[in-house]
């Protein structure tokens, strides 16, 4: 708030964990490491889900024995005739006829068949490899007149065929996809169509080709249907495995693909899309939600579960694996950090949760009601602990915590493992809190009983009420405050926002002062000193002012002390000397020959270079030394008298006047006057303000005036606020006066004090 304070963004641990988990998951997604996990999910979904096919397809199987037998051509030929006559729509021949022997596919199967336009030949890559040459079941004269389609894919990950291409392109030509032809759709080249494996082969009407060839089937089952004649190996190891339903003829892959298309295509969500959504949600939950973060996590978990369950019920394929890594990695990091935290969260000696745990709790509570952070200090704890065993210590602290919770059993008491117990409680009003703490103190008047021993507990309290401050600072502040309490006269101490601002202010004071000196927020004002003999202004006292843009005018009485602590006194003194000399020099008042008094704090008297500093500035400004008076304030704080004396003597030798400020108060008394070479005494306002009402004050002033005369020193009475006081001082023969009545401190040395002094004389 004050001065320069650079706040570095602190990334909360949760956000860091979310980011690390996301980075890891994206990396894993990028190299597709979790494909096996996706496949496991997809298999399960396929197995658990079920959809009924359109019923428009019929499967005619040719088993291995037939395919290997000598009559395969005749069987196929007869079957084609039967199927044609029975009114089938199209017939797809998806058989590896050339698989045995020398691979000759010059089959006689098509001979003498009418309506070959119904028949389609399905080509498959020769070596099962995707780009390989296509091999068709029959490759002779008749076959060349038949429409051809192709089944494109080689097996995907883990031997499953998850999708079919829209077109199968070879160097010489492009073939329609078998699945698309079966579904009567057009496939696009380069496009992948996902296969829904919730279908099962058992739901498809299946006939044996030998039965068909021998007319042993119900023709009604064929009418209007698309027939696929496929091959079934006797060795199940040779059959491809369907993700949802075990081994089946390879023809079921395009059959299922065709059914999927008929049912409206499988929607595919790739891993980067899923991961993007979950990573974003997780990040938002970690970064922005506080009290409802837990629910956000729950929702994300439910979302993820839904992404796994939905594909059982609808045609959907999601690559969820990478998101699983995201969530697991995040959960693991959070769990680990919590576990580590929980070890740190309980103090061994007291058995109570630690202040770290309270910090977390307060941070999490931020959005809730205003809370006071209360601290209790156990006085004489070390003596008590010395006589208690470990178990008894736990009992002791437990007993104290129980008493503290007397009004609110829900309260949680935290400990720093030492003499401080801290907690946070809902705050209503200062008064209520104060009386609550007083009541608690009363309760502790009764000793605790531990193992039959009576143990006294003496406790004082503090509370931090700076509601907006950071949790750890509030706790630190409550503890610092309770350390300032005392059993005898200050058992309870409450701190609030203003104190916090003051603390902040002090912390940044050093840079604030430098800043204020530079920007002109710190400047000099001038208050006239009037000679009561001549009625003329005989000089001005320069007083420092600080007009802070945020806090307004700050009293010098307040900030000069802070300045000293911040080690900025020399800088301020130099500034005031130079600034007031310059301002005075250019003012109209300068020509009347008066003096300029500048306040110098006595702590500067330990600085042996002060005379040099003064000389340098006099020279730099060109100010006559005999018109400068140094007012030494707060002489009580002179520590090293020898140095102070030599510094004052040196200043005196330079020719500047030396004034003892606030004479009569503190230790600005006779001893100081005696010890140092002052040329002027300023009698303090404390006496002057009372001379009209107090005979004692009047006598003191008279005596000081006499003292000044006898010592041949100038005497200034400060703090004259009315005519009566001025009159009395004039009558006493006081030579010089200063006060609001004669002139207030002004930004430029003013000239209008004359009038009032005349009035006093009449």
What is the closest distance, in whole angstroms, from the C-beta atom of residue 568 to Mg ion in the complex? 19
Q: Which of 196, 395, 631, 634 binds Mg ion (CB under 5 A)?
A: 631
Buried b / exposed e across 458-472, counting CB within 10 Å, b at 16+? ebbbbbbbbbebebe
Burial bucket for residue 4 (CB in 10 Å: 0-12, 13-18, 19+): exposed
- Determine the Cα–Cα distance for residues 262 and 276; give it in Å rounded to an integer: 31
Quick check: 720 binds ligand C2E (CB under 6 A)?
Answer: yes
Choices 354-362, 463-471, 528-536, 738-746; region in contact with ligand C2E by CB under 6 A = 738-746
Q: Which is nearer to ligand C2E, 192 or 570 (CB)?
A: 570
What is the closest distance, in whole angstroms, from the C-beta atom of residue 612 to ligand C2E in the complex? 18
Quick check: 739 binds ligand C2E (CB under 6 A)?
Answer: yes
Q: Which of 77, 105, 320, 527 binds ligand C2E (CB under 6 A)?
A: 527
Among Mg ion, ligand C2E, none, partner that 555 touches (CB below 5 to 8 angstroms by kind): ligand C2E
- Determine the Cα–Cα distance for residues 471 and 468; give it in Å rounded to an integer: 9
- Determine the Cα–Cα distance for residues 535 and 320; give it in Å rounded to an integer: 96
Among ligand C2E, Mg ion, none, partner that 495 touches (CB below 5 to 8 angstroms by kind): none
Tokens of 226: 């698309």
Quick check: 556 binds ligand C2E (CB under 6 A)?
Answer: yes
What is the closest distance, in whole angstroms, from the C-beta atom of residue 638 to ligand C2E in the complex? 13
Interhelix angle 271-288/293-313, nearest 10 degrees: 160
- Determine the Cα–Cα distance for residues 741 and 532; give it in Å rounded to an integer: 13
Q: Which of 419, 425, 661, 680 binds Mg ion (CB under 5 A)?
A: 661
Q: Which is nearer to ligand C2E, 327 or 576 (CB)?
A: 576
Q: Which of 151, 576, 630, 701 binds ligand C2E (CB under 6 A)?
A: 576
Quick check: 749 binds ligand C2E (CB under 6 A)?
Answer: no
- Determine the Cα–Cα distance for residues 421 and 496; give it in Å rounded to an integer: 20
Distances (CA, A) of 491 to 364, 458, 483: 31, 10, 10
Quick check: 249 binds ligand C2E (CB under 6 A)?
Answer: no
Q: Which of 213, 516, 560, 701 binds ligand C2E (CB under 6 A)?
A: 560
Q: Which is nearer to ligand C2E, 226 or 718 (CB)?
A: 718
Radius of gyration of the chain (CA): 49
Relative to beta strand 174-177, strand 226-232 is unpaired
Among Mg ion, ligand C2E, none, partner that 464 touches (CB below 5 to 8 angstroms by kind): none
Relative to beta strand 453-455, strand 458-465 is unpaired
**Nearest CA to 356 among 364, 116, 407, 747?**
364
DSSP for residue 368: S
Quick check: 680 binds Mg ion (CB under 5 A)?
Answer: no
> Is there a contact between 192 and 164 (Cβ–Cβ < 8 Å)?
yes
Quick check: 661 binds ligand C2E (CB under 6 A)?
Answer: yes
Tokens of 266: 């499988």
Q: Which of 740, 746, 759, 761 binds ligand C2E (CB under 6 A)?
A: 740
Tokens of 59: 């499967």
What is the closest distance, in whole angstroms, from the C-beta atom of residue 481 to Mg ion in the complex? 34
> Is there a contact between 209 and 61 (Cβ–Cβ < 8 Å)?
yes
Interhelix angle 641-654/610-621, nearest 10 degrees: 20
Quick check: 617 binds ligand C2E (CB under 6 A)?
Answer: no
Q: Which of 82, 416, 662, 680 binds Mg ion (CB under 5 A)?
A: 662
Quick check: 595 binds ligand C2E (CB under 6 A)?
Answer: no
Quick check: 736 binds ligand C2E (CB under 6 A)?
Answer: no
Choices 120-128, 281-289, 295-303, 596-604; region in contact with ligand C2E by CB under 6 A = 596-604
Tokens of 529: 């000193």
Binding site for ligand C2E (CB under 6 A): 527, 543-544, 555-557, 560, 576, 599-601, 631, 633, 661-662, 685, 718-721, 739-740, 745
Binding site for Mg ion (CB under 5 A): 599, 631, 661-662
């Amino acid at each position: 708030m004050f001065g320069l304070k650079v706040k570095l963004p602190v990334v909360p641990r949760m956000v860091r964990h979310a980011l690390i988990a996301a980075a890891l998951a994206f990396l894993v997604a990028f190299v597709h490491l979790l494909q096996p996990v996706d496949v496991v999910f997809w298999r399960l979904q396929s197995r658990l889900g079920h959809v009924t096919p359109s019923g428009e397809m019929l499967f005619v199987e040719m088993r291995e024995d037939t395919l290997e037998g000598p009559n395969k051509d005749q069987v196929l030929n007869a079957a084609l005739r039967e199927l044609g006559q029975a009114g089938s729509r199209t017939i797809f021949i998806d058989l590896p006829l050339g698989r045995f022997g020398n691979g000759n596919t010059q089959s006689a199967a098509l001979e003498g068949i009418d309506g070959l336009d119904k028949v389609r030949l399905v080509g498959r890559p020769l070596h099962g490899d995707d780009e390989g040459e296509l091999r068709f079941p029959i490759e002779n004269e008749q076959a060349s007149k038949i429409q051809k389609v192709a089944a494109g894919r080689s097996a995907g990950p883990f031997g499953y065929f998850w999708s079919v291409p829209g077109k199968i392109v070879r160097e010489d030509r492009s073939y329609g996809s078998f699945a698309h032809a079966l579904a009567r759709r057009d496939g696009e080249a380069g496009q992948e169509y996902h296969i829904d494996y919730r279908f099962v082969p058992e739901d498809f009407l299946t006939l044996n080709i030998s039965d068909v060839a021998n007319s042993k089937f119900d023709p009604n089952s064929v009418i209007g249907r698309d027939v696929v004649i496929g091959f079934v190996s006797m060795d199940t190891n040779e059959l491809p495995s369907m993700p949802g339903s075990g081994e089946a003829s390879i023809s079921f892959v395009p059959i299922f693909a065709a059914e999927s298309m008929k049912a409206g295509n499988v929607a595919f969500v790739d891993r980067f899309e899923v991961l993007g959504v979950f990573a974003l949600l997780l990040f938002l939950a970690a970064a922005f939600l506080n009290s409802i973060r837990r629910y956000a996590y729950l929702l994300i978990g439910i979302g993820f579960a839904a992404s796994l369950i939905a594909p059982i019920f609808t045609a959907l394929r999601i690559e969820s694996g990478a998101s699983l890594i995201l969530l697991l990695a995040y959960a693991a990091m959070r769990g680990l950090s919590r576990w580590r935290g929980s070890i740190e969260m309980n103090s061994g000696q007291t058995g109570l949760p630690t202040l770290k745990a309270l910090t977390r709790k307060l941070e999490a509570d931020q959005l809730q009601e205003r809370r006071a952070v209360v601290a209790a200090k156990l006085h004489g704890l070390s003596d008590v602990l010395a006589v208690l065993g470990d178990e008894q210590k736990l009992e002791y602290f437990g007993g104290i915590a129980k008493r503290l919770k007397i009004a609110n059993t829900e309260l949680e008491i935290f400990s720093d493992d030492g003499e401080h117990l801290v907690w946070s409680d809902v705050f209503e009003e200062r008064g209520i809190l104060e009386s609550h703490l007083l009541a608690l103190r009363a309760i502790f008047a009764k000793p605790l009983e531990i193992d039959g021993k009576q143990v006294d507990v003496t406790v004082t309290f503090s509370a931090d009420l700076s509601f907006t401050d950071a949790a750890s600072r509030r706790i630190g502040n409550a503890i610092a405050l309770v350390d300032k309490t005392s059993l005898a006269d200050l058992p309870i101490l409450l701190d609030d926002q203003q104190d916090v601002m003051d603390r902040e202010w002090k912390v940044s004071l050093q840079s604030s002062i430098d800043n204020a000196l530079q920007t002109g927020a710190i400047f000099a004002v001038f208050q006239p000193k009037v000679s009561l003999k001549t009625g003329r202004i005989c000089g001005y006292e320069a007083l420092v002012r600080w007009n802070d843009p945020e806090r307004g005018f700050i009293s010098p009485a307040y900030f000069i002390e802070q300045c000293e602590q911040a080690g900025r006194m020399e800088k301020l003194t130099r500034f005031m000397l130079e600034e007031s000399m310059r301002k005075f020099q250019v003012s109209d008042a300068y020509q009347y020959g008066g003096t300029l008094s500048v306040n110098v704090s006595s702590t500067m008297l330990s600085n042996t270079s002060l005379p040099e500093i003064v000389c340098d500035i006099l020279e730099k400004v060109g100010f006559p030394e005999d018109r400068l008076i140094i007012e030494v304030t707060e002489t009580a704080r002179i520590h090293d008298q020898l140095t102070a004396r030599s510094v004052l003597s040196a200043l005196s030798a330079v020719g500047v006047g030396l004034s003892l400020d606030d004479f009569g108060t503190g230790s600005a008394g006779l001893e100081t006057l005696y010890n140092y070479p002052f040329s002027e005494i300023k009698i303090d306002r404390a006496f002057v303000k009372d001379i009209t009402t107090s005979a004692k004050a009047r006598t003191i002033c008279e005596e000081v005036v006499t003292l000044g005369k006898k010592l041949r020193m100038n005497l200034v009475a400060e703090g004259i606020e009315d005519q009566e006081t001025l009159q009395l001082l004039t009558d006493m023969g006081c030579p010089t006066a200063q006060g609001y009545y004669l002139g207030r401190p002004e930004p430029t040395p003013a000239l209008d004090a004359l009038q009032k002094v005349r009035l006093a004389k009449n």
